[in-house]
Amino acid sequence: MRAVSIFCAMEQKNVSPALSSLDQATSAEARSESRRETVFSGMQPSGGFHIGNYLGAVRDWVALQEQHHCFYCIVDLHALTQPYSPTEMPSRVLDMAVELLACGIDPERSTLFVQSHVPEHTELAWILSTVAPFGELSRMTQFKEKGDRAEYINCGLFTYPVLMAADILLYKATRVPVGEDQIQHLELAREIVRRFNARFGEPALFPEPLPLHRTPLRIMGLDGKTKMSKSLGNYVAISDEPDVIRKKIGSAFTDELRLRKKDPGHPESCYVCGLEPFFMQPEQVTELQEGCRSARIGCVDSKRALAEAMIAKLKPIQDRKAQLLSKPGFVEEVLRSGAAQARKVAKATVSEVRDRLGLFPMGHSASV
């Protein structure tokens, strides 16, 4: 892991190192308006974040707005493909929106909205399903995995990647920051673009969206054994109180080979040491890790230092969240205006698509 200042939420000038490849790829001109890319990404409304979500995705979203035109979407329609509770859905969406804003998504620069507020997503998804290749859809790894686990397999689980393609194409996005597990879906979206353009193009209507690879980052859970996940309960939430963080980090997994404090530690294979670079300055990490290796400090000391560093890094986000929550209706208004902005673009695209498909035009007097 690299020793970098990760929490750029409040320091939006820092472009995350995970995205530096894009900067290089787009060269010196990248900063000029003409080379600004349109970025689209979506996240399922799972409520608040844990630090794994933050380090693995949200901080990249925040960094990308520095330079690009970004659409960030809370994909509630995708979430319907999994069993869920309708009564909990609204708060899952709202909590996610609040935390995205608290982490630094800036509605003045990015369009943050809820997928189901822009009905063109479903309209385009249907249209794209008529060009999407069935064979390739049935080879999607995530479909096979989810299908194996599901009690019954709904069609939405199968056409999930088509809706994802519609999300991206509505905004003619050229770059899509996604994790490893979504690369196959993005390839399918590119295939759909090629087929659509081949059949209805000239000039091509859609650009082929490129993935924006993040540094593969698997933040492990506090058990040190599996990926950090809400359902496994092995996480530190962005909104955890200081005492909760102290307790959670206090019981985290450390170096199995270090039984007593006087045994020398192995920071490279220790979970707690592995997290340090994400929350501390490089000098502090070096000092702690040397202390661990020479048995000058024990695991309890390392855990304390990590917990305090985490608490300090999360505080600005938590303060900002409290501020957002103290303004009734503010976040709802951000989402409303985000949906209105998104819809303008989405409507224009759908109108072009209808035209290309040869759908009979609606009379001028008809209001849509």
Just list the catalytic residues.
146, 227, 230
Distance between CA atoms of residues 184 and 139, nearest Å: 10
Q: Judged by CB under 6 A, does residue 140 bind ligand TRP?
A: no
Nearer to ligand TRP, 164 or 270 (CB): 164
Contacting ligand TRP within 42-61 (CB under 6 A): 42-44
Residue number, 44 or 289, with CB nearest to ligand TRP? 44
Nearer to ligand TRP, 68 or 303 (CB): 68
40 contacts ligand TRP (rule: CB under 6 A) = yes
Q: Binding of ligand TRP at residue 265 (CB under 6 A)?
A: no
- Looking at the Cβ atoms of 56 and 298, the one nearer to ligand TRP is 56
Regarding 75 and contact with ligand TRP (CB under 6 A), the answer is: yes
Q: Is 346 in the site for ligand TRP (CB under 6 A)?
A: no
CB-CB contact of 103 with 238 (8 Å)? yes
Out of 51, 97, 103, 168, the only residue in the binding site for ligand TRP (CB under 6 A) is: 168
How far apart are CB 263 and ligand TRP at their closest, in Å? 41
Q: Segment contacting ligand TRP (CB under 6 A): 160-168, 195-203, 253-261, 353-361? A: 160-168
Question: Does 178 engage in binding with ligand TRP (CB under 6 A)?
Answer: yes
212 binds ligand TRP (CB under 6 A): no
Burial of 103 (0-12, 13-18, 19+ CB in 10 A): buried
- Say whether residue 176 binds ligand TRP (CB under 6 A): yes
Give contact residues for ligand TRP (rule: CB under 6 A).
40-44, 75, 78, 164, 167-168, 176, 178, 182
